[in-house]
Amino acid sequence: MKTAKYTLLYASIPIHHGNITQCQKPLSMLFGAFSQFRRVHSLQQKQDPYAEARLDGGKNRPPWFSVAPMMDWTDNHYRTLARLISKHAWLYTEMVVSETIVHQKENLDRFLAFSPEQHPIVLQIGGSNLENLAKAAELANFYSYDEINLNCGCPSKKVAGHGCFGARLMFNPKLVGDAVSAIAANSDVPVSVKCRIGVDDRDSYNELCDFISTVASQSPANHFIIHARKALLSGLSPAENRKVPPLKYEYYFALQRDFPELQFTLNGGITSINQVDAAIKQGAYGVMVGRAAYNNPWYTLGHVDSAIYGVPYHRKSRRQILEQYQDYTDSIIGKCGSRTNVRQLVKPLLHLFHSEPANSQWKRMADASLRHCKTMKSFLDETLRTIPDYVLDSTLVNTPSSHEEQFTDVDSLIPPPYSRSQKLTYFSEDQGALSGSLL
């Protein structure tokens, strides 16, 4: 009922329908039939987004582990490698601005296309213009993502400053609710929100709860990814915003206590599968990992299916993973020819031998080889001779033992329960001016 209400409310948002089939490249045609199948189940998915995942034999398992959206990192090439290593981790795209989707209708494959093997996959959208968010969601339907995520956490000046979205949206939870509703009314899949625990001096637990309560009550959103650091919009770079503000995991666990009807994924500062396991044992519904999944993909992603989802290891070696990845890159080069940037294809592989004895030598050889190699085969033939066979041919066999104590003191730090009857503290006298600037 909640979804139906917001669908009717936002049916009036103008969506300019074009001839979709005329503005997509041939690769997109492969996904049409699958898209139609998913649309049959769209209403059920919105009402209970992970119902199918909880069933034995369902296509996707719940998002207990996900790889964070990272600009310039979680592109198609990285996601292909990640899926070869982990079958069940949820993958996120880089953030795509809604205006980009709307104004690039003739070139959407460049921003939205992916292979079916990448499921489960989430499209992260950035923006604050309701009409463009609605249009972007409509166009994204063709690609059959498993979820759309609205970015309310990026602190960069380009996004939260000049762009007036990202973390700045947390100043206006009503607008976020409207944005989620606009996306959901024009999408076939659930819509989630990724946010910080606060912004600048608005960083109390009650203010965070005001944000969550407002968005959840005014939209169909029931899944929030919580980066357990606040964002500082002035004086810190995006990199510093990932390190300087202190982590407050207690806020995350308090949200789970105070909003049991919602689902929360924990993000921020988690760098190993042991920490993921510790967070889940502490009660986290799901955990999102960022740079550790990119900088150490073999061990971080390699243990996800067994340690988190309880399924057998894939028993693949790194040599076999590389052979499969080469098949993927051969198809890319076959389509794009001399326009292919081999360096971009190689980029996700550069951390595959993290912590191995030959890692430094491999990276030096890779840098030299990329100056002249034109195919993945020539690159691998030239560089893999630096890696010992026992490293290339070994497989992951044991889940790492967990001795993490990172969350053991959380219970003593959890703030008092949130009272939903109290006055919303996020709204202030100057909120109207802020709302206008975001639109």
Number of residues that make up the chain = 439
**Alpha-carbon separation of residue 144 from 137, 139, 369, 389 (angstroms):** 11, 10, 37, 40
Residue 392 to residue 380: CA distance in whole angstroms: 12
For the chain, the first-to-last Cα distance in angstroms comes to: 28
Residue 199 to residue 188: CA distance in whole angstroms: 31
Residue 132 has phi, psi (to 5 degrees) of -70, -35
Residue 82 to residue 298: CA distance in whole angstroms: 9
Contact 262, 222 (CB under 8 A): yes
Residue 193 to residue 171: CA distance in whole angstroms: 14
Alpha-carbon dihedral angle through residues 91, 158, 202, 423, given to the nearest 10 degrees: -80
What is the number of other CB atoms lying within 10 angstroms of the CB of residue 438? 19
Nearest to 151 by CA among 122, 119, 111, 117: 122
Q: For residue 436, what are its two tokens? A: 């206008």
| Catalytic residue from among 152, 154, 195, 373 | 154
Residue 378 to residue 372: CA distance in whole angstroms: 9
In a 3-state reduction of DSSP, which class is residue 301?
helix
Contact 130, 438 (CB under 8 A): no
Residue 88 to residue 308: CA distance in whole angstroms: 9
Instruction: Give yes or no: 373 in active site.
Output: no
In a 3-state reduction of DSSP, which class is residue 153?
coil
**Alpha-carbon separation of residue 159 from 15, 135, 180, 194, 426 (angstroms):** 24, 20, 18, 14, 21
Residue 184 has phi, psi (to 5 degrees) of -65, -35
Residue 173 to residue 126: CA distance in whole angstroms: 15
Catalytic machinery residues: 154
